């Protein structure tokens, strides 16, 4: 609901191309950092669980569930990450060729 109320005034409006690039570059950097953090958390949890004190079944179950969670997380956010990178790429092309291209962002 918070996201809906904060973006109500933005529906159907266009922005400057530099603001679009900044928003998408920021989003892609944040999601990329979070995905890398999730991947490294798998390695860290595996390293912590290889210490003695837990049974092998519990250890394998925890690691497999954590890896499944990370893979599901990445598969859910990968389309958004692709869209942000694509938008930044399209904005770069627009900045290079300027008025030769047709776009809705002004």
Please give the Cα distance from 60 to 67 (Å, whole number).
Answer: 11
pLDDT at residue 74 above 60? yes
Q: CA–CA distance from 16 to each of 21, 23, 40, 89, 105 (Å)?
A: 9, 11, 36, 15, 6
Instruction: Please tell me the predicted confidence (pLDDT) of residue 1.
Output: 60
- pLDDT at residue 71 tops 90: yes
Do the Cβ atoms of 45 and 66 come closer than 8 Å?
yes
Write the pLDDT tens digit of every residue in 12-52.
Answer: 556 677 777 888 888 889 999 999 999 999 989 888 887 77
Reply yes or no on whether the pLDDT at 58 is more than 90: no
The residue extents of the domains of the chain are 15-100
Question: Which residue intervals of the chain are DSSP H helices?
Answer: 2-6, 17-49, 56-97
* Residue 11: CA count within 13 A, CB half-sphere: 7
- Distance between CA atoms of residues 100 and 106, nearest Å: 13
């Amino acid at each position: 609901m918070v996201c809906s109320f904060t973006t109500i005034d933005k529906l159907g409006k266009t922005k400057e191309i530099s603001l679009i690039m900044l928003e998408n570059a920021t989003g892609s950097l944040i999601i990329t950092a979070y995905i890398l953090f999730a991947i490294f958390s798998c390695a860290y949890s595996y390293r912590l669980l290889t210490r003695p004190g837990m049974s092998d079944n519990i250890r394998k179950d925890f690691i497999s569930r954590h890896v499944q969670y990370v893979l599901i997380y990445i598969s859910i956010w990968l389309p958004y990450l692709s869209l942000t990178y694509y938008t930044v790429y399209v904005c770069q092309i627009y900045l290079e060729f300027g008025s030769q291209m047709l776009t809705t962002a002004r």
